[in-house]
Amino acid sequence: MKPSPNLLSPDNHALVLIDFEGQMAFATKSTSITELRTNVAITAGASKIFNVPTIVTTVAEESFAGPVFPEIEEFYPQATSGYIDRTSMNTWEDGPAYEAIIATGKQKLVLAGLWTGVCIVGPALSALTEGYEVFVITDACGDVSEEAHERAIQRMVHAGVKPVTAVQYLLELQRDWARTETYVAVTDLMKKYGAGYGLGIQYAHHMVKH
């Protein structure tokens, strides 16, 4: 009855959110910005609900890329979350970002960000080389074209990265609907950002009353 150690749990990983900024989003074409923002909200919300160590890093925030998505600010406000701004494209090559990731003490790392082929491939392959187990939330990533995104995912998977989706990430952390301490927060998150699934939860909760 023991769950696989290959599964993600609230206490066995850290989440790194990379370069979810306006300038990066403007050129993202592999997915719609609406869908991207929704999946970012689910990802950030999930990590907040389950108290996952989460690092938010930006690139040239003041001089080029701009502020982070409102969906990240909602769960991790800049004033209290200590965003790490970089000049390097590869988060792993930035001293403060690298030290923050290492300081979590987690051997499983979950990554999401823009763009897939640059800002995710770099730290994913670098972390693998140092012995980390790496997951990428593929639908909370995007690139300048579908080709760029898909080739990046393919390259990382071939190297050993494990792809997951935003909803999969959330539900893997919840795992059991009998976990009442997070049930309401998880279903509220999905009601707000879960599209048809969220409407289904809202419908079910309403109909149970009758």
- By the 8 A CB rule, do 191 and 183 touch? no
| Three-state DSSP class for residue 122 | helix
Strand order in the sheet with 162-164: 84-86, 54-59, 13-18, 108-113, 133-137, 162-164
Question: Is the CB of residue 98 less than 8 Å from the CB of residue 109?
Answer: no
CA distance 47 to 189: 11
Q: Is 2 left (phi over 0), alpha (psi -120 to 50) or beta?
A: beta
HSE at residue 202, side-chain half, CA atoms within 13 A, is 12
Which residues are known to be catalytic? 119
